Amino acid sequence: MSNALTNIQKGSSRDKAILDTITICNVADTYQIAALFFRFPSGLRKCRQRLKSLVDRKLIKKTRLSIDTATIYYQRKLPDSIEHALGVTWCYAWLMRRYGDNLLTWELEQLKEFGNILQCDALCSVKIPMTGEIRWLCIEFESGNNRNRFDKIEKYTELYHREGVLGSPMLRRLGNPLRFPKVIIVVDSVKRGQRIRDIISSDTRRMKFEVHLLAAIKEGSALI
């Protein structure tokens, strides 16, 4: 007997993966779902059909910020800052495309071990296939529309000084990894990104930071 999945089984499995993604990320738009699950020439059209089916079955809800933007899908309620949440979802789509099943966890909730120092946008763990090592990443999405001074580098440095010792409450919570979490900062503005890079390069520290443009990670997650 063939073990190949039928089209109906494949569709059901993909629908579940879509629902899981929206649950994990709280919100996702058409292009993000297409980038994850419909990477073929007619994928965007098929993606819209499947999402319509999920809406019709009342498994998800939908809205749009404007007539010129993609349809947004969610389950319970929309986050307070939809555009920011969508930026974080692009980070998830990018890392999922990069690591696949080796992206082990994705958390949006604040860790109590971070205390009152900061709240990261997302915390995730990935498995390095060659070594089996589990590494943790703190994800930050930063918009060029944000006029506030970017102080997360200082706060992460403070967190490292407090929690960067093996056996600290935070590292115990993460399973005592070999490395302190790397911070990945995604920005939607070249100017904002350069300012953050300048802050990082102006000081030496043992923490690792990466800065990526949103446009670049979208391209890395884009439809073929």
Whether residues 137 and 196 share a domain: the answer is yes
Regarding whether 90 and 66 lie in a shared domain, the answer is no
Residues 6+ apart with CB under 8 A from 143: 83, 84, 87, 187, 188, 189, 192
Q: Judge whether residue 224 has pLDDT over 50.
A: no
pLDDT at 219: 83
Q: What is the pLDDT of residue 223?
A: 41
Question: Band of the pLDDT at 221, cuts 50, 70, 90?
Answer: low
111, 216: one domain: yes
Q: What is the side-by-side order of every strand in the sheet holding 27-29?
A: 27-29, 72-74, 61-63
pLDDT in tens, 5-52: 555 556 689 999 999 999 999 999 999 999 999 999 899 999 999 999
Q: What is the CATH number of the domain that holds 127?
A: 3.40.1350
Q: Are residues 89 and 72 in the same domain?
A: no
Mean pLDDT of 132-140: 95
Residue 1 is part of which domain span? Answer: 1-78
The count of domains in the chain is: 2
Tell me which residue of 191, 188, 103, 115 sits closest to 156, measured CA to CA: 115
- Its pTM stands at 0.90
Please tell me whether residues 146 and 223 are part of one structural domain.
yes
For residue range 160-216, what is the model confidence (pLDDT) as tens digits?
998 888 888 889 989 999 889 999 999 999 999 999 998 888 765 678 999 999 999
Where among 27, 47, 78 does a domain terminate? 78
- pLDDT at residue number 83: 94
**Does one domain contain both 91 and 155?**
yes
Give yes or no: residues 105 and 124 share one domain. yes
If one counts every other C-beta atom within 10 angstroms of the C-beta of residue 74, the result is 19
